């Protein structure tokens, strides 16, 4: 069965629209944080895998960093291990850290690698502990105590922040034509294991690898203004102003701060992408309209 004229013209238009982006991004690194609905919905998971396989096939270098909060929570519940959060971060004692490492470095990481393989790509899963890829330090958290009428340091256990990234391991993987899939687990100077926020890891990786793009998949359409419309085409000064006037607040603030830091450090652009849309990564990379919120290091 052949295509009708209208369908054929539409396909041709899509392909020709993608061409300049393929030419522009060939050989460039694109760091993608994979999380949210896209990780737990089989159809979205599969479309994401196909997207990164296509990116690799046309000459780009996708680097995937993944989360796994819901999967960790589910296993902790099955094991009857109590968990709590401080300022959105999971308190991680030694027992919880064992579960985090098992889920992130094991089941979730291997599932993403397998999905990429099923869709014709080659991927290699690593954690930040492999080759000391991610050196971490303990995250210091302070919060206000009404009893003390002052700030106090809260110990949230094995939760870390990125101290240093050694890209040698990743360069070997990329040069071998594999897609790196990274679990956000770091190692301290004393050998301790740390759970690190995946957005923060993706942002730091984008910086040290001088990535062309940082893409953060979320469960929202993008950064919204006070009327609920998606904001895009923003430069760093505009984002700073939106933080100052309170437009950016709550749960979106850490994600935007991560994207903003990466862009200010030299990453060409950062994108807050709606991971609930099939092939969102492909649409953001290869089309004029894109998806979600674009933040650039220069006025648009």
CATH of the domain at 90: 3.40.1160.10
Please count the structural domains in the chain.
Answer: 1
Domain-embedded: residue 204: yes
Domain-embedded: residue 40: yes
Domain-embedded: residue 3: no
pLDDT category at 222 given cuts 50, 70, 90 is confident
pLDDT of residue 8: 75
Domain-embedded: residue 259: yes
Domain-embedded: residue 9: no
What average pLDDT score do residues 246-273 get? 86
- In terms of residue numbers, what domain contains 59? 21-296
Domain-embedded: residue 7: no
Domain-embedded: residue 150: yes
Indicate the pTM of the whole model: 0.90
Least confident of 10-24, 72-86, 164-178: 10-24
Q: Is the pLDDT of residue 28 over 70?
A: yes
Domain-embedded: residue 5: no
pLDDT tens-digit map of 93-140: 899 999 999 999 999 999 999 999 999 999 999 999 999 999 999 988
pLDDT of residue 52: 96
Question: Exposure string (b/e) for 124-149, b if CB count within 10 Å is 16 or more?
Answer: bbbbbbbeebbbbebbeeeeeeeeee
pLDDT tens-digit map of 183-214: 999 999 999 999 999 999 999 999 999 999 99
């Amino acid at each position: 069965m052949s295509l009708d004229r209208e369908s054929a013209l539409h396909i041709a238009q899509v392909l020709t629209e993608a061409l300049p982006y393929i030419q522009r991004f060939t050989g460039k690194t694109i760091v993608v944080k994979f999380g949210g609905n896209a990780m737990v919905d089989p159809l979205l998971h599969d479309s994401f895998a196909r997207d990164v396989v296509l990116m690799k096939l046309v000459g780009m270098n996708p680097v995937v960093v993944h989360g796994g909060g819901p999967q960790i929570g589910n296993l902790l519940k099955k094991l009857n291990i109590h968990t709590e959060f401080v300022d959105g971060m999971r308190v991680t004692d030694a027992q919880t850290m064992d579960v985090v490492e098992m889920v992130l470095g094991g089941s979730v990481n291997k599932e993403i690698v397998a999905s990429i393989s099923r869709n014709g790509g080659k991927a290699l899963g690593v954690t930040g502990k492999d080759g000391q890829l991610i050196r971490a330090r303990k995250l210091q958290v302070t919060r206000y105590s009404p009893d003390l009428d002052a700030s106090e340091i809260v110990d949230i256990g094995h939760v870390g922040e990125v101290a240093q990234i050694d890209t040698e391991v990743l360069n070997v993987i990329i040069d071998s034509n594999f897609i790196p899939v990274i679990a956000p687990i770091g190692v301290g100077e004393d050998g301790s294991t740390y759970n690190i926020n995946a957005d923060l890891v993706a942002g730091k990786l984008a910086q040290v690898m001088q990535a062309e793009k940082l893409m953060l998949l979320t469960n929202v359409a993008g950064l919204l203004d006070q009327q609920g419309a998606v904001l895009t085409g923003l430069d760093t000064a505009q984002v700073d102003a939106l933080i100052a006037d309170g437009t950016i607040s709550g749960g979106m603030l850490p994600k935007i701060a991560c994207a903003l830091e990466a862009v200010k450090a030299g990453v060409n652009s950062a994108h807050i992408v709606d991971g609930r849309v099939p092939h969102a990564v492909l649409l953001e990379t290869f089309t004029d309209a894109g998806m979600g919120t674009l933040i650039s290091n220069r006025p648009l």
